[in-house]
Amino acid sequence: MFGKYIMEKLRPYYKMTYATSGAYWMPIAKDGQIAKLIATTIGLVIITISVAVALLVLRSLHTMPAEHSQRTVVLSLVIPPGGSQAVNAYLDAGDGLNLSWATNGPEVAFNHQLETGHRRFTVLASGLSNTGKDRFSADHGALYGVLFRNFSRNRVTLTVKGTGTFEYFRSVTATAGVASNELMR
């Protein structure tokens, strides 16, 4: 459709020429039409570029992450003696998370961390307590998490609350990987 529009605009300034290599359009320059030909060609190039840019902008708007709405998620976890449990939240750029947690009494070891790649993380805070809170603000998309480890001889019930804007906030089974080994030291 757009190509047909271009050909209709340029038809007065070009003629179809046939050669052994195929057909092609040849510019016609008569009675001062060369200035009109140049102006029309420049105008059509500008229109083509504008349409291409508009399509790229629309495509980028479509692929941008949706803005997350404010919400609250409350998780109740049970950690057996010697066990561990992790909570992860994925935050896009500009998202924020207020995290708070409390146990039914016994202290647990905690490790707040930022996942920066496969088996790579940055520890943001760690300690031993029966309550805690932290605030995460993302300047780029990243996985934030808290690893909890129960060193007591009792089962611990842990309530973890996440309030803010985030893609997800959920509990995951802690594995004996880099993060849990760090916490055990």
Residue 144 · residue 98 · CB < 8 Å:
no
Question: pLDDT per residue over 150-182, tens digit each?
Answer: 999 999 999 999 999 998 899 887 654 434 334
Superfamily of the domain at 71-184? GOLD domain (2.60.120.680)
> For position 156, what pLDDT does the model report?
95
Domain ranges of the chain: 2-63, 71-184
- Give every residue of the chain whose pLDDT is below 70, as ranges: 1-39, 53, 55-67, 116-120, 174-185
Phi, psi of 93 (to 5 degrees): -55, 130
Q: How many CB atoms lie within 10 A of CB 30?
A: 7
pTM (2 decimals)? Answer: 0.58
Torsion of CA 145, 151, 152, 154, to 10 degrees: 60
Pairwise CA distance, residues 76 & 93, whole Å: 28
> For position 137, what pLDDT does the model report?
87
**Token output for 129:** 């307590």
